[in-house]
Structure formats: C-alpha cells, structure tokens
Amino acid sequence: GNSVTQMEGPVTLSEEAFLTINCTYTATGYPSLFWYVQYPGEGLQLLLKATKADDKGSNKGFEATYRKETTSFHLEKGSVQVSDSAVYFCALSSGTSYGKLTFGQGTILTVHP
C-alpha cells in the first residue's frame, strides 16, 4: 500500500534560517506528490505539488523536487519567517486511490524572531 514518512518534529528555527523537511514515500504506480500546510487553528491548504518525476513544485519561497530514484519529496526554504510557523504535511495521491490522499505524520515548525 501507499505510505509517506516525514522527518520527526518538532523543528525549531530562528528567523532567516534554512529549512529542510524530509519526506519519503512508497507507492504503486506513479503518484502525485504534495505539501500541505496547516496554520494554527486552520484547516490544511495546498502549499505546492509535483505530478511527475523531476518536477519541482514551488510556492511562497518553498520548493520541493520529485525524486523518483530516491522516492523523496523534501521541502526546502532558504530563509524562514515567523509567519511560516505551522504544521507541514507531505502527501501522495496515486492512480488507483480515487483522489484519496495519503498523508505523512506532519512536522511542526516553529520559527522564533
């Protein structure tokens, strides 16, 4: 079956630090990969996505590259802000899943001034 594994959290950084949140997956077929973000007290919202190998998704300064050879989709940002404090979820959707997303366990990010 499909599964997503994220790095253990929580992650605490100072403002302007470099961020990496690791994500690896197992899936049948050729999944689409996603990062969702959940700000405090809110629902999840799509941050970025990639639908095929070597695609790079990017949004709001965040980037992730679909690496089929390492089955990874690591999230990066060069300089984090306090407003980036949130829970980040890696997820995948495969061709047989009828739109069902399989989520990783989430990584809590806290950015201090």
- By beta-carbon proximity to another protein, the closer residue of 62 and 89 is 89
Cβ proximity to another protein: between 29 and 113 the closer is 29
Q: Least distance from C-beta 14 to another protein, angstroms?
A: 23
Chain positions contacting another protein, by CB under 8 A: 32, 34, 36, 38, 41-46, 49, 51-52, 87, 89, 91-101, 103, 105-106, 108
Residue 46 CB neighbours (<10 A): 12
Query: Who's near 38: CB < 8 A, 6+ residues apart?
Result: 44, 45, 86, 87, 88, 89, 106
In the bound state with another protein, the residue whose beta carbon lies nearer, of 100 and 112, is 100
**Upper half-sphere CA count for residue 99 (Cβ side, 13 Å):** 0
